[in-house]
Amino acid sequence: MSDWKQRRERLQAMLQEQGLDGFLAVQNVDCYYLCGSMQSGFLFIPAKGDGVFYVRRSVSRAIQEADSAVFPLASLKELGKQMARDFPDLSFDSDLKMATTLDVLPVALYQKLQQSMSQVEWTDGSSMMKKLRMIKSEAEIASIRKAAKAVDTSLQDVLATFRPGWTEVELLANLERELRRHGHFGMMRMRGFNQELVVGMVGSGGEIAEPSFFDGPAGGSGLHPAFPQSASTTPIRRDEPLFIDVGCTIEGYVIDQTRTAVWGRLDSAMERAYLVSEDILRALEQLLKPGTPAEAVYFEALKLAEKAGLRSHFMGYGSEQVKFVGHGIGLEVDEWPVLAKGFKQPLEAGMVIAIEPKFTFPGQGVVGIENTYLITEQGFEKLTCSREGVWHIL
């Protein structure tokens, strides 16, 4: 049985448990996760039986790719009638309970779906999809491992060729070039509304400590108010922390890692903060095992940052601090579980999680580390393969 079919069957078990008649996947990533094709359309999964991928464009491509039936979609207005003909056992002319992902569905499209299927009672299936995607298959994990190797090789090659005078964006551009050569898609998908990433957050000194709209401990000045994050045209200076938070997407799956580098030497305060970030990471690793509540990892990180006297700088500064220390990762950067207060979901074997204890010092820089881990039956496996410690360049 294919991974795609297993996922659909797991989703169907959720639908049956909640008394729902079906699930309509509307987002390209969710469609890909469930059938193996990311063409434009809607994937309907009934609570029982086989589903159908209704495709607007490209139908021929979807037929080649999808692990499900593919039917051309004439128009969104006619989708309800088309589904009623294709699924005669479902009562589309009476009350039908269906789920869809309201976290990513635009209101205008939702209203059109309501008009097309006026008798359907819609419910939010966002949490169902997020829970489904938390547990990774061997094929998914293999792709993340490939991405980890690509990041490590690219980072080593670029830092080995660093030259005085490089700007932040030159360093980022060189990293992106190497990553693309190793198979990186050129983007890292995010589910969060208005959240965007290209390669990652790269910057030095006070520039990278500038806050931004991005939900992370580092922001970055960016190149323009139209993209106010990550690298700027500021030259990288001696003895300033160089923050390199980059990812790589191979075969659709993302690795996320952060390393701290310096051209010269970090001052004692920055070096100590970096060493504390590693100490926190080592302590959190001890909690990475099935059964640990996700929020327990976050609370332990806060306790250790407080003990080190760095709580006010942990994961941002002041009102700009973010309220998590890690997140699930897979087809998107911001998957479940979230290592944050209120997320009581216990860790399970098969989850892949990025953990990122970092410290932000306004006007001075950001230091820290981030690794991606697989939760196993015995504990964890570190998927990130770049060496730890401060990277000294030149």
Q: What is the pLDDT of residue 218?
A: 92
User: How big is the chain by its Cα radius of gyration, in Å?
Assistant: 23
Summarised one tens digit per residue, pLDDT across range 349-359 is 999 999 999 99
Average pLDDT over residues 355-365: 97
Q: What residues does 42 pair with on adjacent strands?
A: 54
Confidence of residue 33 (pLDDT cuts 50, 70, 90): very high
What whole-number percentage of the chain has pLDDT above 70? 100
The answer to whether the pTM exceeds 0.75 is yes
Q: What is the pLDDT of residue 215?
A: 87
Per the listing, tokens 């008649």 go with 21
Contact 140, 378 (CB under 8 A): no
φ, ψ at 151 (rounded to 5°): -65, -45
Summarised one tens digit per residue, pLDDT across range 265-275 is 999 999 999 99
Confidence of residue 14 (pLDDT cuts 50, 70, 90): very high
Q: What is the pLDDT of residue 198?
A: 83
With a cut of 90, say whether residue 1 has pLDDT above it.
no
Lowest-pLDDT choice from 74-78, 299-303, 369-373: 74-78
Rounded mean pLDDT of the chain?
96
Summarised one tens digit per residue, pLDDT across range 297-343 is 999 999 999 999 999 999 999 999 999 999 999 999 999 999 999 99
Average pLDDT over residues 236-253: 97
Q: What is the pLDDT of residue 197?
A: 81
CA dihedral 131, 137, 139, 144 (to 10 degrees): 60
Q: What is the pLDDT of residue 71?
A: 98
Average pLDDT over residues 214-230: 91
Summarised one tens digit per residue, pLDDT across range 111-159 is 999 999 998 999 999 999 999 999 999 999 999 999 999 999 999 999 9
Average pLDDT over residues 224-243: 95
Average pLDDT over residues 32-56: 98
What 3-state class would DSSP assign to 118?
coil
Domains of the chain: 3-133 (3.40.350.10), 135-393 (3.90.230.10)
With a cut of 80, say whether residue 222 has pLDDT above it.
yes
Between strands 69-72 and 52-57, the pairing is: parallel
Q: What is the pLDDT of residue 72?
A: 98
**The dihedral of CA 75, 77, 78, 83: what is its sign?**
positive
With a cut of 90, say whether residue 235 has pLDDT above it.
yes
What 3-state class would DSSP assign to 154?
helix
